[in-house]
Structure 1
Amino acid sequence: MTICAGCGEKEASRLECPNCKKLGIPGSFFCDQDCFKRTWGTHKLIHNIVQMAAKAETDKNSSIPTNMRDYKFTGPLRPHYPLSAKRTVPAHIKRPDYADDPQGQSPIEMARERAVKTLNAEEIEGMRKVCRLSREVLDILASHVRPGITTDELDRICHEECIKRDAYPSPLNYGKFPKSVCTSVNEVICHGIPDQRELVEGDIINLDVSLFHGGFHGDLNATYPVGKVDEESMDLMATTKKSMEDAIAICKPGVAYREIGNKIEEVVKPKGYSIVRRYTGHGIHYMFHCQPNVVHYGNSKMPGRMEAGQIFTIEPMINLGTANLDHWKDDWTAVTMDGRRITETGCEILTRPPPASSASKKRKKKKSKAAAVGEADVEEDGGSGAATPIGDAAVGVEGLEVTGNGQ
């Protein structure tokens, strides 16, 4: 027997509340019209509650693109749309071949060269310059990382700094990527699209900066803590950095590319972390991505050996949990399958930060002397408060030039 939704005593008839029917509220049947009218003041509160809940759900999803609202996100991160308008690049700046292609396709990459290119001295000098410019942009961008800033604002800063250097931001329109930098937060493995989400205390963010200048691409990235982060994330970043540096240390002419993955796994596996297999390091020069593919896991059958004059990236992507991944329905954002955090880092000798100036060394010496007399609050560089990557400033830089002497 169905009890009347009004009096709660008599058996309900077939009289159903029309508003409840529209709102999809089941079981709103009444014993008669008089009971419905008498209890209307109390009953209509149900409509208000359901409508408020529906509005809250709509508001929550209003920043999520319609094609992603039925997507089962693997972690707590959500896209925050609408995206800002596509940023423009002045006509006088030299552009890569995909910059104005409707599909963002690069004809020279589509040719799929099988051989690993060996660069001559002039080409390597061109790579040195663009990598130096890329390092400058990354360092400036990193100084703005803080709680409250949006990744879209970081994209604006990156774009403007590229333009100041007469450089084209390599990601823009590459495969139709809509922005000038990749910002990968927390569980995003790579290729995060900058949007309106504000960074919050405890996030970690990877900034992947690439410039096209003088006919060559520079490519580097680093992972930064946003404010204070948990110890687990700190250890993840430190382990990834060590795996990268240990892999760099073995690089010299004659070494098999697969040894890079063996060395990385040697560092990562004892920690219980996993290594992403889907994405690899790559060659780079006048092409953004090319041979060789550089895998970051052990026991691979990756062919080839390093030769002097080759330039490639080492960028291990290490997860707290599973190595499996998924993709958001934006064609780009790759996320961990279990929603746990990741760090992505690579190293490029060509983009190492410049050595400390003599003035900086004097400030450091002054700090040491001050500490000896108890003045522990003396700051070495004025205390800018900017977020910094785990370890030294070279963490996260991509691309390694193999020289003739292995240095």
Structure 2
Amino acid sequence: MLQKQKKLILNSRQQAAMRRAGQVNAALMDFIRPHVHAGMATEKIDEMVFQWTMDHGHKPATLGYQNYPKSCCTSLNEVICHGIPKDEILQEGDIVNIDITTVVDGWHGDQSETFLIGDVSEERRAVTQCAFDCMHLAIDALTPGCTVSKIGETIVPEAHRRGFSVVREYVGHGLGRQFHLDPSIPHFPNRQSRIDRLYPGMCFTVEPMINAGTRYARCDKADGWTVRTKDGRPSAQFEHTVLMTEEGPEILTLTQDGPQKGHQF
């Protein structure tokens, strides 16, 4: 177990490469931010993600990944994750999670945000706030060498306190030269997460998916990707790439224009 984990520890040069990948990905999120509004088609957002990424000499990690057809994921309302951009038009009252991952000189930056489109229902606003707060609470709870389970042990009680549920089928992950690495980062405590530890030099994502109703999900058999809540109620997610340092967790994908810790939606 320890030998397996030590392979994931990045040296100072590799950490600098991950910081750059995170900064590039955050700049892309800020670039698309003004375009996420009512009347915009999600496929147009995807086109902008692709063009900006290529114009800057990088690659969208999702495009072609396990045959995924687009450069980002756009998950609307009851879609938990992996929503495929298409000709659907964002409407007043929607919430949409946009998940982007950029390959920068071989290293991955990965993050997502849930956007509120105009005036949204109280339930959609509250579940979005919960996902955002849970992500930051979990990151703040981490210390060098702590168990991965610290994340789930922080998120689950907070989500349940607010009357929401935490998705279990889809989790965070290690990150580096590959898109998905060990350790798995579940947002609920389980046996493996109580064993795995987050040592300085390890890079990973924290990306809780919070449902307004039941935690259970169903994958669209037609496209093989789109994951929806089983009861059709809304879901929200936020994600950051995090580097564990000797001093504690460092968020690598902070945006300049997006919501910062403590933001109220």
SS of structure 2 residue aligned to 1:208: strand
Find the counterpart in structure 2 of residue 220 from structure 1: 111
Find the counterpart in structure 2 of residue 247 from structure 1: 138
Structure 2: distance between partners of 1:334 and 1:343: 12
- Contact kept in structure 1, 2:29 and 2:255, CA below 8 Å: no
- Structure of higher CA gyration radius: 1
Find the counterpart in structure 2 of residue 337 from structure 1: 230
Find the counterpart in structure 1 of residue 219 from structure 2: 327
Structure 2: distance between partners of 1:123 and 1:182: 27
TM-score normalised by length of structure 2: 0.90
Shift of 1:157: 0.5
Shift of 1:181: 0.6
Letter paired with 1:322 = T
Q: Are residue 293 (structure 1) and residue 175 (structure 2) matched?
A: no
Question: Alpha carbons of 1:345 and 1:394: their partners in 2 closer, same or farther (altered >3 Å)?
Answer: farther
Shift of 1:301: 4.2
Letter paired with 1:318 = I
Q: Which runs of 5+ in 1 are unaligned?
A: 1-112, 355-387, 396-407
- Contact kept in structure 1, 2:46 and 2:70, CA below 8 Å: yes
Structure 1: distance between partners of 2:190 and 2:101: 30
Letter paired with 2:139 = I
Q: Are residue 351 (structure 1) and residue 248 (structure 2) matched?
A: no
Shift of 1:259: 1.1
Structure 1: distance between partners of 2:100 and 2:205: 13
Q: Are residue 138 (structure 1) and residue 20 (structure 2) matched?
A: no
Higher RCO (CA < 8 A, seq sep 6+): 2
Q: Are residue 310 (structure 1) and residue 202 (structure 2) matched?
A: yes
- Contact kept in structure 1, 2:110 and 2:240, CA below 8 Å: no
Shift of 1:226: 0.9
Q: Are residue 199 (structure 1) and residue 63 (structure 2) matched?
A: no
Find the counterpart in structure 2 of residue 260 from structure 1: 151
Number of aligned residue pairs: give it: 249
Structure 2: distance between partners of 1:248 and 1:393: 11
Find the counterpart in structure 2 of residue 235 from structure 1: 126
Tell me which stretches of 4 or more aligned residues in structure 1 moved more than 6 Å.
none
What percentage of residue pairs aligned between the two structures are identical? 35
Structure 1: distance between partners of 2:90 and 2:48: 15
Find the counterpart in structure 1 of residue 248 from structure 2: none
Structure with greater proportional strand content: 2
Shift of 1:304: 1.3
Structure 2: distance between partners of 1:394 and 1:162: 30
- Contact kept in structure 2, 1:347 and 1:394, CA below 8 Å: no
Alignment of 1:5-154 (within 5 A): 114-115=4-5, 117-154=8-45
Structure 1: distance between partners of 2:150 and 2:219: 29
Question: Alpha carbons of 1:299 and 1:266: their partners in 2 closer, same or farther (altered >3 Å)?
Answer: farther
Structure 2: distance between partners of 1:393 and 1:249: 10
Shift of 1:266: 2.1
Structure 2: distance between partners of 1:339 and 1:220: 24
Structure 2: distance between partners of 1:394 and 1:172: 33
Shift of 1:299: 5.3
Find the counterpart in structure 2 of residue 378 from structure 1: none
Shift of 1:353: 2.5
The superposition leaves residues 15-34 of structure 1 with CA deviations (integer Å, 9 ceiling, x where unpaired) of xxxxxxxxxxxxxxxxxxxx
Structure 2: distance between partners of 1:353 and 1:183: 19
Q: Which runs of 5+ in 2 are unaligned?
A: 242-250
Structure 1: distance between partners of 2:109 and 2:240: 12
- Contact kept in structure 1, 2:18 and 2:107, CA below 8 Å: yes
TM-score normalised by length of structure 1: 0.59
SS of structure 2 residue aligned to 1:201: coil
Structure 2: distance between partners of 1:233 and 1:300: 32
